[in-house]
Amino acid sequence: MKPTEITDPAYFHKVVDCQWACPAHTPVPEYIRLIAAGRYSDAYMINWKSNVFPGILGRTCDRPCEPACRRGRVEEEPVAICRLKRVAADYKSDVRGLMPQPGKKNGKRIACIGAGPASLTVARDLAPLGYEVTVFDQDPKAGGFMRTQIPKFRLPETVIDEEVGYVLDLGVTFRHKRIDSLKAILDEGYDAVFVGTGAPRGRDLDVPGRQEAAANIHIGIDWLSSVSFGHIDKIGKRVVVLGGGNTAMDCCRSSRRLGGEEVKVVVRSGFEEMKASPWEKEDAMHEGIPIMNYLVPKAFNHADGRLTGVVFEKVKAVRDAKGRRDLVATGEPDVVIACDDVLMAVGQENAFPWIEKDIGIAFDHWGMPVVDPVTYQSTVKGLFFGGDAAFGPKNIITAVAHGHEAAVSIDKMLRDEDIEQRPSPLTNLVSQKMGIHEWSYDNAVANDLRYKVPLKDAEIALKDIRTEVELGFDLKLGFAEAQRCLNCDAQTVFTDKLCIECDACVDICPMDCITFTTNGEEGELRHRLNAPAPNTSQDLYVSGPLKTHRVMVKDEDVCLHCGLCAERCPTGAWDMQKFYLEMTHAGPSCRSRA
């Protein structure tokens, strides 16, 4: 193998698994260390800069970082990264003084349609630069689906108000106005238009009885937003929720709080394949909601215009010759579940009835606008899409990431720069050595298992739909959980010309990550290291040739970043260096230096 090119920002970025997995590339270990140090405001600001909604995401994020967390590979459970983010949000002091100020107006006007996370991110990035940003939404308050879809027992209104407020305080104009024509907006002469309208249409099920029993059959996301606005405050005693995603989980848990006593979630597929995050399924089951699998809705039973139950066909998963999974009927008798109300959470779709077909936007064959995955520009110059509106339903953090990139495109475009030329991230790599065996980070590895977030007593929690269920970590638990972080950003940097091949690092490494051996091809090398390195998604760090013509090979996979290799190194060939990577957002640093 060739010596590893550690100057490539992507190399060490990949080692910080959580940051690499985060769509917005939040510097996770850095803010976790700040939490451990009690610097909650600083931890919050790192998050705020990167993901705009730390308090909201600290409660609701899809957490792509956690399955990626190295801790999950060396122990059992990843660090509770998401809930640590909430610790930063809960215990920060007044951070308004740390936020940017509205910029001096530069005369450019930007319209953002939809006031969800994508649009608000665009607004947050551009307003301090002097852009005049107007955000339109059909609802009276900004926040989009974060406000209307996520039940208040998971995300209190105060948190949304606070974090949406930080964005609007940057001089962003919010207008409560439903946009019915994109052409009309384009004609208003904005310098750029960003569409962040989400995926607002809940899928329906066309099965017998649907029309007749319509009064008791609700589309999940519409029902959730009616609940959110207080238009709906009760539901029947027996509720069936159809669907296996996070919306279904929100529907069933909301039902439990609005009078639903027998609430059941019924899913076509198996439990493991459900789209809902494992922790959301857990939370639902914790509230006494059974999840029933392999049942496909066949008909709605009704009498006198009232729903009486749902008929399900029993299916099983069968793999065909190509390994594709298929659900086929088992032939067993149908299952009838009696109920008073049905909530359908079987998927969301984009819907752009307000976009005229003749204004030059190309649509793909699913009726989705064609959007560049790098610049987020549509086929119309100056018209950008982001969030669920761009590539279908994902999650908040993805919408934020889209917003940052679209803001970069808008800023560059309005300065007559090529928006295809993307800025590289800002990186920094600096030694953490403080003494012979002292580092500026706490390199002792905590053996603690993942801490559970304390919950409000279920009886109290189920009484009021606005009572937040999770209490969040207190400071003590937050510190203990933060100490579980392995500081993967403290990189093991190897300088081959300093190495005397004394083997000290090999002997001390608790994970047998380091091998000195003759070089070879990667596939073959992976099998003759001190410990096998079968996880090819994790790189091998290979040095240049050493004095004995061997090379140092380090498997990054399960390195604890404990720094013992560097502590035991007599020549400083190993050093622990903090890798800090920050994405370049809109502003002077995203522009070309020419």
The Cα 175–Cα 139 span in angstroms is 9
Q: How far is the CB of 523 from other proteins (least distance, A)?
A: 17
In the bound state with other proteins, the residue whose beta carbon lies nearer, of 73 and 314, is 73
Say how far residue 25 (Cα) sits from the centre of its chain: 10
Rounded to a whole number of angstroms, the minimum distance from the CB of residue 3 to other proteins is 22
Map residue 466 onto helix, strand or coil: coil
Smallest gap from residue 533 Cβ to other proteins (A) = 9
Rounded to whole angstroms, the Cα distance separating 585 from 128 reads 12
**Least distance (Å) from other proteins to the CB of residue 83?**
22
Q: Report the alpha-carbon distance of residue 543 to residue 576 in Å, rounded.
A: 16
What span, in angstroms and rounded, lies between the C-alpha atoms of 121 and 129? 13
Give the position of tokens 């024509």.
181
Least distance (Å) between residue 560 CB and other proteins: 6
Which C-beta is closer to other proteins: that of 56 or that of 513? Answer: 513
How would DSSP label each residue in 99-152? SPPPPPP-S-EEEEES-SHHHHHHHHHHGGGT-EEEEEESSSSS-THHHHTS-T
Give the Cα separation of 9 and 581 in Å (integer): 8
Nearer to other proteins, 368 or 506 (CB): 506
3-state secondary structure of 63: coil
**Residues of this chain that bind other proteins (CB under 8 A):** 73-75, 436-437, 443-445, 447, 500-504, 506-508, 510-513, 531-532, 534, 547-548, 558, 560, 562, 564, 567-571
Q: Determine the straight-line distance between the first and last CA of the chain, rounded to whole angstroms.
A: 37
Write the single-letter amino acid at 365: H
Shortest CB 457 distance to other proteins, Å:
36
Q: How far is the CB of 485 from other proteins (least distance, A)?
A: 14
Q: Which is nearer to other proteins, 513 or 540 (CB)?
A: 513
Residue among 165 and 532 whose Cβ is closer to other proteins? 532
What does DSSP say about strands 173-176 and 192-195: parallel, antiparallel, or unpaired? unpaired
* Distance separating alpha carbons of residues 367 and 361, to the nearest angstrom: 11
* Contact yes or no for 303/278 (Cβ under 8 A): no
DSSP 3-state of 227:
helix
Beta bridge mates, 344:
219, 242
Closest CB to other proteins among 99 and 558? 558
User: For other proteins, which is the closer residue by CB, 321 or 444?
Assistant: 444
